[in-house]
A and B are shown apart, each in its own frame.
Chain A
Amino acid sequence: MIGNDIVDLQFAKKQSDWRRKGWLQKIFTTIEQEYIVSSKDPNLTVWKLWSMKEAVYKAHQRYLRLSPKFNPKDFECMLGGKVNVGGYRYSTNSEITQQYIYTVVKPSRNGYYSSVCNKDINVYHALERCICQGLKIIAPISIQKDANRIPAIYIDNKESNILVSLTHHGAYSAFMFSIENEISIT
């Protein structure tokens, strides 16, 4: 199952005061709070763990077809990138730059393609272009969301088996997609 989440670090700084009383306790388990306070860069650790929780939330909701919930504490993050929730375990990978933290949930069997875009780029167009080129599709492609707001790719108006996940925050957007078989994109 796939999922992704991006945190614009400048934007997060403006929007959220994680040092506010009670804030960390509402989101993070006692162990995660330990990771945060004992890390060299607590701010970065807060947002890294948060993006892991958000990315896995998307994958997990999709996998079990769950309705929306705000339960960040149920997603228990480990420093190596694994996240446990309700008896399931997901593997994540986080890319950390000066500007953003971008986490993807790695599909267990399939390959995937993932890309970060600036906000001036239309992420939907970038995604469509990437799928067309990568999978050599010439039919019209569209992205539609279901009742749980999970996006799906339609090729020639038929739902495809391409899994897609999108994320936006501040100045950045990102997308990832995966299909049943291994894919290679140049």
Chain B
Amino acid sequence: MFENLTDKLQAVFKRLGKRGILREADVEEVLREIRLALLEADVHYKVVKDFVGRIRERAIGAEITKSLSPAQQVVKIVHAELIETLGQPGRLELKGPAPYVLMLVGLQGSGKTTMVAKLSRHLKKGGHLPLMVAGDTYRPAAIRQLEVLGRQLEMPVYSEGQHVPPPKICANSVREARQRGYDVVILDTAGRLQIDDEMMGELEAVKRAVNPVETLLVADAMTGQEAVNVAAGFNERVGLTGLILTKVDGDARGGAAISMRAVTGVPIKFLGTGEKTDALEVFHPDRLASRVLGMGDVLTLIERAESTFDQEQAEHLERKIREASFDLEDFLDQFQQIRQMGPLSQLLGMVPGLSQMMDDVSPEVTDQQFKRIEAIILSMTPEERRNPRVFNASRKRRVARGSGTTVQEVNALLKQFRQMQQVMKQMGKGKRGLRGVMRLFG
């Protein structure tokens, strides 16, 4: 299987052998790949259908910008559309008279109890006084779990044990909060299936009793096609105001988020990103969109590359490669341009798989190492940079001393450069041109 959508599309375009304006027939094949990628990411079948329809409209006739390959261009359209579907990140709406009641609902095992603790901690940091409420009287030790979390956080938990009906516990907890000056009440509820009529009825009763400002569906990022039914089911019975996606720290693509957004229209408010109570993140639509497409944050990278590499420099470089006159001076130029795009460690993080590609350059390319490479080249004379063949032991020693590195490091760099020259020579012969070189750099 291919790594991600960009790779797949690249393969399609290669087969098509076309550049320039996208034609309708090409678009259909591209759309098929988009469709499969989204389905693999667990986006619901019907949501994908609508989505692909919108992409079709945007992609046909779209002009390809010169700095992007057709594949990248299509991915950019898909990405933009995904971000639109995911919507803006929602904030907690704490409006009206305090105490503000937040009610967490969801299936069994989605992570509600942990999320109550995380939200509580988050709100306390924001200057609120939250009260956590143990409203799950069904699951064995659920109350105790919340009490333990409360102790760990040194924050209050309201509980009446497991023999009082949850609507009553919740109503009492709000009264308690009002009396004792807590301004936010966070209700834990038992996990339940959206088709369990009796249990959903109980949830409606809780809602009537406490009139929450937020009713948040807590859903596992790993959820499959069911996400649509779950979100629709809860929304119908209790009227959701937001979504919280949990277990985002795993490797699930998180297409469920798109499905749930599509059927409920309510904003995604938070992401749970770990087991500890501080592992709570605000939702970024662009990052989740990239993740759904299985491509890291490669779009930010594309955009940065577009703004960093100007056309003239690119042509100059392409000529140099074709003439096989690429020297250490150009090497330094390239390094410096890439560094302008941001810290290297961050750039590498945006491209899944890139670090493996860079393996033969250096096992762990860090910003530190980049600086050392720069220092070594800067310590060379212009003649040495243009013609590294003049290097002998004494020159190497001088450069090492001048750059505060060792002869071994100088040797390693020269070796890397020679390898790179060879690759470029081969590329110069072929017609891959600049784009191939840029790919070499990342």
Q: Do A and B come from one complex?
A: no
- Chain A residues within CB distance 8 Å of chain B: none
